[in-house]
Amino acid sequence: MKSIINLIKVSFVFGALFTISSCNNEPEISNISRITYFPTFVYEGGDFAIIPCASDFEIPPIVATENGQELPLTVVTKGISGTVPSVDINKADIYVETTSAVNQDGYAGEVVRTFWVACTGDLVSSIEGLYSSTVIRNGAVNPQYFDLEYVLIRKVGANQYEVSCAIGGYYEFGRAYGSDYRAPGVIVTATDIPSNTFSFSGPVPVGAFGGACTMTSMTVDPATKTIHFTSDWDAGFAFDVTLTQVAL
C-alpha cells in the first residue's frame, strides 16, 4: 500500500495596500498573495513493520516533494539503546525512523516509521524473539494487560540477552503511555537455558517515572514457547510477566 502524507496547503493572502502618490496619483501595491506547499511524503507500505532477521525485506524508500519538486531528506534512526546509523535487518532492535523535509518557506513535515527486527530462538539454545506479553502487577489480574504487543529479546553477547522492557510493556502498551515509559536495558545471562539457570544485570529505570526496577527470576518453556519472569520496582510494584513467542 502506498502512503501519501500531504500536509496542509495554506494560502497566505496578506491583501493589497493602496496609497496615492502626490507625484503621479498612481496606486502602490505592497504584499502580494502567495501559496506555500507543505512537504508531501510518498512511500510504500505503512508506518509499522515486523521484520524477521536476515530476511529479504527492503525498507521502502521515501520521497518528499513540494508542489512536485523533490526535497532533500533528513533521516534520524533510533534503536533501544539510542541513535543508530540506519535500520539493519540483520540486527535485532526496535528501530524508530524519523524522516523530515523542509519547504522553501521553512515549514517542516515528517514521517515516523517503526520497524521491529527480531531473530527467533528455539528457547533451548537461545531465548531471542518477539513476544506478546501478559502482565500481572501486585497480584491484580486485568485483561487490559493481556497480550500486549510487543516485547523484544535480542542477543547482545555470548549467552547474554537484552529484554526491551523489564515490566513487559505494562505502561508502554497496557496504559498506552508510549515508549518513554518502557523499562529497557536489563541484560539476562543464560548460564543454562534448559535448567533455567539465569542471572540478571543491575536495576534499570522505568522510563520517565525513573526509580529502580530489578529482574528477579526467569523460567523458559520451549514446549509452549513461553518465558515467565518477575521484576520488582522500588516504587512499590511487583510485575509478573508471561511472554509468548510470536511466530515470524
Residue 34: what pLDDT?
A: 74
Query: Contact at 8 Å (CB) between 162 and 82?
Result: no
What CATH number does the domain located at 129-245 have? 2.40.128
At residue 55 the predicted structure's pLDDT band, cuts being 50, 70 and 90, is very high
pLDDT digits (tens, 9 = 90+) for 70-113: 999 999 999 999 999 999 999 999 999 999 999 999 999 999 99
Using 50, 70 and 90 to split pLDDT, how confident is the model at 19? very low
Distance in angstroms (rounded) separating the CA atoms of residues 206 and 184 = 8
pTM: 0.84
Domain locations in the chain? 2-118, 129-245
Q: What angle do CA 203, 209, 210 make, to 5 degrees?
A: 30
What are the φ and ψ backbone dihedral angles of 32, each rounded to 5 degrees? Answer: -115, 155
Average pLDDT, stretch 50-65?
A: 95
For the ranges 3-12, 106-115, 123-132, 165-174, the lowest mean pLDDT is seen at 3-12
Q: What are the pLDDT digits (tens) for 28-53?
A: 555 566 788 999 999 999 999 999 99
Residue whose C-alpha cell is 496504559: 175
CA–CA separation, 195 and 188 (whole Å): 15
Better-scored residue on pLDDT, 12 or 86: 86
Q: Please give the CATH topology (third level) of the domain spanning 2-118.
A: Immunoglobulin-like (2.60.40)
- Supply the pLDDT for residue 15: 30
Mean pLDDT, rounded, for 161-167 = 98
pLDDT in tens, 169-223: 999 999 999 999 999 999 999 999 999 999 999 999 999 999 999 999 999 999 9
Q: Cα–Cα distance between 204 and 210 in angstroms, integer?
A: 8
10: pLDDT strictly greater than 50: no
Examine the pLDDT at 138 and tell me if it is beyond 60: yes
Among 11-20, 25-34, 152-161, 223-232, the least confident range: 11-20
Indicate the range of 30-34, 61-65, 130-134, 154-158 predicted with least confidence.
Answer: 30-34
Closest by alpha carbon to 100, among 81, 82, 77, 127?
77
> Quick one: cell of 199?
542471572
